């Protein structure tokens, strides 16, 4: 990932964590989307943390994890 992509990922992850935290702090555990699917506030926090961790991983680790090996 280039630094611009990492910076965008950090921003998106921080927004997801912040929105999830504010929902939990406000007492909202589940919100229903317009499609009728539930969205859990803790899921937003978890997704944000996953994005933040993936943005912090070095390039060689990401390439090693995403490489398909032929046997």
- For residue 11, the model assigns a pLDDT of 95
Interatomic CA distance for residues 28 and 9, integer angstroms: 25
DSSP β-ladder status, 38-40 and 30-32:
antiparallel
- For residue 66, the model assigns a pLDDT of 86
Please count the structural domains in the chain: 1
- For residue 1, the model assigns a pLDDT of 58
State the residue range of the domain holding 14: 3-66
Q: How do the pLDDT tens digits run along the chain, 71 residues long? A: 588 988 999 999 999 999 999 999 998 888 887 888 888 889 999 999 999 998 998 888 888 888 888 87
Taking the CA atoms of 38, 23, 44 and 19 in sequence, report the sign of the dihedral they define.
positive
> Cα-flanking dihedrals φ and ψ of residue 60, to 5°?
-65, -30
> What Cα–Cα distance (Å) separates residue 8 from each residue in 5, 55, 56, 61?
5, 9, 12, 19
44 within some domain? yes
71 within some domain? no
């Amino acid at each position: 990932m280039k630094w611009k992509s990492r910076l965008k990922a950090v921003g998106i992850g921080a927004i997801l964590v912040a929105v999830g935290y504010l929902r939990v702090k406000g007492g909202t555990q589940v919100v229903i989307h317009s499609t009728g699917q539930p969205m859990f506030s803790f899921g937003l926090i978890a997704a944000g943390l996953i994005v933040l961790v993936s943005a912090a991983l070095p390039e060689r680790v990401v390439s090693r994890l995403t490489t398909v090996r032929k046997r």
